[in-house]
Copies of this chain bind each other. A is one copy, B any other.
Amino acid sequence: MFTEIKAAIEKADNIIILPHKSADADCLGSAFALKLILKKLGKKALVMLEEKEPFPHTCGILNGVEEQVSLNADLVIAVDCGDLERLGERIGVFKSCPETVNIDHHPTNTMFAKYNFVDTNAAATGEIIFHLAEFMNVALDRDIAENLYAAIVSDTGRFSYSNTTENTHIIAAKLHGYKINHTEINEFLFERNSLNKLMLVKAALNSLQVYKEGKIAAVEVTREQLLKLGATEEDASGLISYPRSLETALISVCFRESTVSDTVKVSLRSNIYDVAQIAKQFGGGGHIRASGCSIAGNLKDAKEKLLDALFKVIE
């Protein structure tokens, strides 16, 4: 299928790359790497984001991120995008283009383009873009390599997730050959905390409570703490990783008071129990191993209700 995609790219002059909405680092790293690759082939290319202002945070570590200009495309390439719905408001751009390509690694991909390349064995879409560049005989450079590295390192959780393969490390080795600044990328993506973020972690750890001999671990943060520390949604949502890391915990919970309404947001994680079912009892949802819900009322009452539900699951 690379053959047909290569031909479509060679034929085109103006190419629009479409990341999925709420694009993550794999998606954005892949998209901007592809843009730089296409430019090396003498094409006009741009990445059209759903969220234009401000650019997603990840763009801060990527190369080739520029102001959005418009382009009358003769080819669009959707990147890391499982279905048309994930293109959001840009679906019209995709549909109005005669030539369409879909490059992805999600098993749920709906093969929505004229030319589809979906490799579910690829740990990241970044791996596919790497192979596409090789196939098209485009020599990488440091900028492209850094974008691809950011894509791959983020979707593999620093090469730790089960999707990581021998091939992932072979590609990472080749990317290192371009003298990529891997420490900076890793720090940007995984290790940069503001003082307020660390203070939020501190608040969460100070609230850590365990129940049922440590089978349940819970942290909580109050509205006052969140406002005082100017916590973002991202900051707050990461707190679940602390109770989750407790070696005895079968279910972990993070309670945080909403800063805008009289509700408590609850995140649930488990490696054993179906926490989507628990979240559903409170009008929430999510995945079996990771779910969430909002409970009206104050923190004390919300905790009591949710813990009661957990105590029914864990004897």
Q: Are A166 and B159 in contact (CB under 8 A)?
A: no
Residues of chain B with a CB closer than 8 A to A186's CB:
157-158, 160
Residues of chain B with a CB closer than 8 A to A206's CB:
202, 206
Say yes or no for A110: interface residue by CB 8 A criterion: no
Query: Nearest chain B CB to A154's CB is how many angstroms away?
Result: 12
Known: A158-B159, A159-B159, A166-B177. Contact between A242 and B198, CB under 8 A?
yes
Q: Are B169 and A176 in contact (CB under 8 A)?
A: yes
Known: A182-B160, A198-B242, A246-B193. Contact between A176 and B166, CB under 8 A?
yes
Q: How many copies does the complex hold?
A: 2
Say yes or no for A120: interface residue by CB 8 A criterion: no
Known: A202-B205, A202-B208, A248-B195. Contact between A166 and B173, CB under 8 A?
yes
Say yes or no for A53: interface residue by CB 8 A criterion: no
Q: A173-200: contact bitstring with B at CB < 8 Å (1 yes, 0 no)?
A: 1101100001100110011111100100
Partner of A246, one of B161, B195, B245: B195
Say yes or no for A108: interface residue by CB 8 A criterion: no
Query: Nearest chain B CB to A180's CB is how many angstroms away?
Result: 10
Among A160, A191, A244, max chain B CB count under 10 A is at A160
Say yes or no for A172: interface residue by CB 8 A criterion: yes
Say yes or no for A281: interface residue by CB 8 A criterion: no
Size class of the A contact interface (CB-based, 8 Å): 35 or more
Say yes or no for A170: interface residue by CB 8 A criterion: yes
User: Who on chain B is nearest to A174 by CB?
Assistant: B166
Residues of chain B with a CB closer than 8 A to A247's CB:
192-194
Query: Nearest chain B CB to A269's CB is how many angstroms away?
Result: 11
User: Who on chain B is nearest to A248 by CB?
Assistant: B195
Q: Are A214 and B195 in contact (CB under 8 A)?
A: yes
Residues of chain B with a CB closer than 8 A to A165's CB:
176
Give the complex CA separation of A198 and B249 in angstroms.
12
Q: Are B172 and A160 in contact (CB under 8 A)?
A: no
Q: Are B162 and A173 in contact (CB under 8 A)?
A: no
Give the complex CA separation of A247 and B194 in angstroms.
6
Residues of chain B with a CB closer than 8 A to A190's CB:
160
Within 8 A of B (CB), among A245-271: 245-248, 271
Give the complex CA separation of A246 and B244 in angstroms.
22
Give the complex CA separation of A3 and B162 in angstroms.
38
Residues of chain B with a CB closer than 8 A to A241's CB:
191
Per CB-CB distance, the 10 closest pairs between chain A and chain B, nearest first, are: A160-B186, A169-B173, A158-B158, A202-B205, A166-B176, A169-B172, A193-B245, A192-B247, A170-B173, A169-B169
